[in-house]
Amino acid sequence: MPSNSSQADRRQFLSTLSLASLAALAPRGAFAQKLAETAQTTEGPFYPDKLPLDTDNDLLILNDGLTPAVGEITHLTGHVFTSSGLPIRNAFVEIWQTDADGSYVHTAGRQAAKPYDTNFQGYGRFLSDAKGQYYFRTIKPVEYTLMGMHRCPHIHVAVSQKGRRIFTSQFLIKGHPANVGDTVVRNLDPKALQTILVDFKALPGSKLGELSANVDIVLGETFNELQPSSKDSLKGTAKGIGMSRRRG
């Protein structure tokens, strides 16, 4: 177990992070032309069958726990845009993935020979801000085999608006050797695949060996269809998740 001092350092580092401080990692010139829509994929069978008690955007620390999850710490950032480059505010962004040993928080998605990392949240959610920005702290995904199927490393992602799921996909590690034989990869057009391949880079200035991964989600629906009214901006699926920004 890490010392209280190291835990304090980790929490202090996270508390000083903001979407603004990570904005430098975002690509420039995004609005020069119509953006390519982000490829959609299957949700997969392991969306949580029971949500964890903690569902904020920090998947490494459960509630007020002291022991972090095992894995390479990754700061996942990006924007939610329309294809014309307009930011989508109050988009309800969800991610879910396996722990470092290839087990999901879903009760049917566990490795038989390895215990699930009870310090890993496995699922998180976040409401995009006025610039369409989202942020998660999680771990770099790992490859695994479940139900007889081998999968390349990936993070599941979904976006909902007004209580309706409007986007589902998976973020993959760019250049990972397991991508070649993966079922999801084989079923995607090569150009579409490029929109969900993500670079995991060393986070500048980090003393903990942390990574950054920046990927924008470009939706193919019009700006007017996706903008919530003032009355229902927090209704439906996104209701009651204001605390999802408290560690971002």
Strands 73-82 and 217-219 turn out to be parallel
Identity of the amino acid at 202: A
Q: Could you tell me which of 52, 13, 218, 6 has the C-alpha nearest to residue 128?
A: 218
> pTM here?
0.80
Render pLDDT for 21-58 as a digit per residue (tens, 0 to 9). Answer: 555 444 444 444 589 999 999 999 999 999 998 999 99
Domains of the chain with CATH codes: 4-18+35-245 (2.60.130.10)
CB 208: neighbour CB atoms within 10 A?
12
Render pLDDT for 137-164 as a digit per residue (tens, 0 to 9). Answer: 999 999 999 999 999 999 999 999 989 9
Mean per-residue pLDDT pooled into runs of 10, the chain (248 residues) = 45 47 48 80 96 95 91 98 95 98 97 95 98 98 96 98 95 97 94 97 93 96 49 40 37
